[in-house]
Amino acid sequence: MSDQLTLSAETRERAGKGASRAMRREGRVPAVIYGANQEPLSIHVEEKALVKMLSTGHFMNSVIMIDVAGGPARTLPKDVQFHPVSDRPLHVDFLRIGEHTVVHVNVPVRFVNEDEAPGLTRGGVLNVVRHDLELVCDAATIPEEVLIDLTGYDLGESIHISNVSLPEGARSAIEDRDFTIATIVAPSALKRTDSDEPSDEAAPAPAAADEPPAEEG
């Protein structure tokens, strides 16, 4: 399961764009904690600490314990806004959750046993349609990743959600269709059709050039 992370925070007394810009100049990132039938709480966190957590790659599916005045808050990150040029975090939304709240999370997939997939050993290419899966699970047992076994898959075959063994206690949030996660496609060298092959029929002879008109005697 994903790690439980701890992030220190301070409450925000001022709101608005001007106050937020001032915080960012001081190395702080504005944020809000909401949900659980409680009033939203405006906070700010240290940018360096937040960036370190973001770099783990599983920040969005980790339980974040926010240490703030009034007691720690168990949360799940729901949205991070980034600067369009610098990619610095500008704002974070945290959802309050209980220890065993059922949550929706996006969990990355990882493919294993590529050497056991005939389609790949023959030169095929793994075309990933979904890099993560939306799962429903207990907040205390959020998986860090979903492993997808490629053993036995050949050219032209697809891996659907029904082919995947999900972590215990987790289920797909999409239940109305057996969606595709990845396909194994043939390399371009194997995609030649009959029309690409040279024809056995002889090419027609080029038309003869017109004879010049005979001169009158």
Instruction: Give me the pLDDT at residue 193, please.
Output: 46
Which ranges of the chain would DSSP assign to H, the alpha helix?
A: 17-25, 47-54, 118-121
Q: Which residues contact 200 (CB under 8 A, 6 or more apart)?
A: none
- What is the side-by-side order of every strand in the sheet holding 158-160? 125-128, 180-185, 158-160
Domains of the chain (ranges; CATH) run: 4-98 (2.40.240.10), 103-189 (2.170.120.20)
Percent of the residues in the chain that have a pLDDT greater than 90, as a whole number: 70
Percent of the residues in the chain that have a pLDDT greater than 70, as a whole number: 85
Q: Retrieve residue 133's tokens.
A: 């899966």
Pair 47, 54: CB distance under 8 Å = no
Q: Retrieve residue 152's tokens.
A: 């036995």
- Average pLDDT for 172-193: 84
Q: What size, in residues, is the chain?
A: 217
Q: Retrieve residue 86's tokens.
A: 């610098």
Identify the band that residue 216 occupies on the pLDDT scale cut at 50, 70 and 90.
Answer: very low
Pair 63, 137: CB distance under 8 Å = no
| Pair type for strands 180-185 and 125-128 | antiparallel
Residues linked to residue 29 through DSSP beta bridges, in sequence order: 45
| Pair type for strands 4-11 and 38-46 | antiparallel
Identify the band that residue 194 occupies on the pLDDT scale cut at 50, 70 and 90.
Answer: very low
Q: Retrieve residue 62's tokens.
A: 């980790």
- Write the DSSP string, 137-170: EEGGG--S-EEEE-TT--TT-EEEGGG--PPTT-
Identify the band that residue 1 occupies on the pLDDT scale cut at 50, 70 and 90.
Answer: low
Sign of CA dihedral 23, 24, 28, 29: positive
pLDDT tens digits along 45-86: 999 999 999 998 889 989 999 999 878 999 999 999 999 999
| CA-based end-to-end distance of the chain | 103
pLDDT tens digits along 90-118: 999 999 999 889 999 999 999 999 999 99
Q: Which residues contact 198 (CB under 8 A, 6 or more apart)?
A: none
Pair 89, 77: CB distance under 8 Å = no
Instruction: Give me the pLDDT at residue 31, please.
Output: 96
